Amino acid sequence: MSVASRARLDRRLTELGIGLLSAVLLIWTLVPLYNMVRVALQGKEDVFSSNVFPTAPTLDSFATAIDESYWLLENFWGQMGNSLYIGLTVAFLTLAIGTLTSFTISRMRIRRGWMLTNAALLTYAIPMSFLAIPFYSIMGKYGLTDNPIAVIAVEVTFATPYAIFIFKQYGASIPLELDDAARIDGASPPQIFFRIYLPLMAPALVAIGTYALLLSWNEYLYAFLLLSSDGHITVPVGLGKFLNSDEAPWNYLMAAAIIYALPPMAIYYAFRRKMNSGLTMGGVKG
């Protein structure tokens, strides 16, 4: 066998190996999602059948979730509204606090600003779940139990340090000369912040905004601990009620879960490009 043929064979074997590995990883990743859709498309009785494909696929479960016509879904859209309210508020506050802090530290060059960034990142040394009881206690003292503000406060606390870190790293790629030029033209710090800093930070804002939204969108522990009444709970807590019964209608649960997954997916795909550049730029200084 000539050298060229051997090289061709090696290349083909490599490609075959990569193809096989990719296929396995793809199946591994997609099977849970496929199962989710499969269960949602089946009737209650067929949910635990061993059929790979639904025998009589139906969209009834989705209709039930949309119509709120099953008792555990009777406030589904209200819960969706709560999730959205909490998610958007968390995203907004995280962006506001994160950008203002990073601007103050890196653009206004305050002394020992790095200490603030590092101190904020220290909060990640303690897992979120460990702080559940202290947070519950604090919110109780402030009279904020069963109040969405409590969940918002907690989520913002956990999202902000990462936001400050990314914004600070990303902001370092924006030349300081722009600020100096604006200052010579008479711009005040707020004007520099709103007219120069924020527009140039757009990719990082999108990335962190989406991150903060998803963090609160998928959060369960604090939402269930701090919220109680049906009028305040979020969708994850509402869906958790399905698991109370030993005859849970999994098809409704999966249909509702798929619907709940759509807004973040839409947001992700809408801002995909900006997100990618925001996250990668945040990781490389200069």
Q: Which is nearer to other proteins, 215 or 226 (CB)?
A: 226
Q: How far is the CB of 259 from other proteins (least distance, A)?
A: 20
Shortest gap between Cβ of 239 and other proteins (angstroms)? 10
Smallest gap from Cβ 137 to other proteins, in A, equals 4
Q: CB-wise, 230 or 263, nearer to other proteins?
A: 230
Q: Cβ(227)–Cβ(146) under 8 Å? A: yes
Closer by beta carbon to other proteins, 44 or else 274: 44
Nearer to other proteins, 92 or 224 (CB): 224
Nearest distance from C-beta of residue 55 to other proteins, angstroms: 14
Minimum Å gap between C-beta 281 and other proteins is: 40
Task: Rank residues 108 and 133 by Cβ distance to other proteins and give the closer one.
Answer: 133
**Minimum Å distance from CB 77 to other proteins?**
18
Residues that bind other proteins (CB under 8 A): 45, 47-49, 71, 132-133, 136-137, 140-141, 145-146, 224-225, 228-230, 237, 240-241, 243-248
Q: What DSSP assignment string belongs to the chain?
A: --HHHHHHHHHHHHHHHHHHHHHHHHHHHHHHHHHHHHHHTS-GGGTT---SS-SS--SHHHHHHHHT-SGGGTTHHHHHHHHHHHHHHHHHHHHHHHHHHHIIIIIS--TTHHHHHHHHHHGGGS-GGGGHHHHHHHHHHTT-TT-HHHHHHHHHHHHHHHHHHHHHHHHTTS-HHHHHHHHHTT--HHHIIIIIIHHHTHHHHHHHHHHHHHHHHT--HHHHHH--STTT--HHHHHHGGGGSTT--HHHHHHHHHHHHHHHHHHHHHTHHHHHHHHHHHHS--
Q: Nearer Cβ to other proteins, position 107 or 232? A: 232
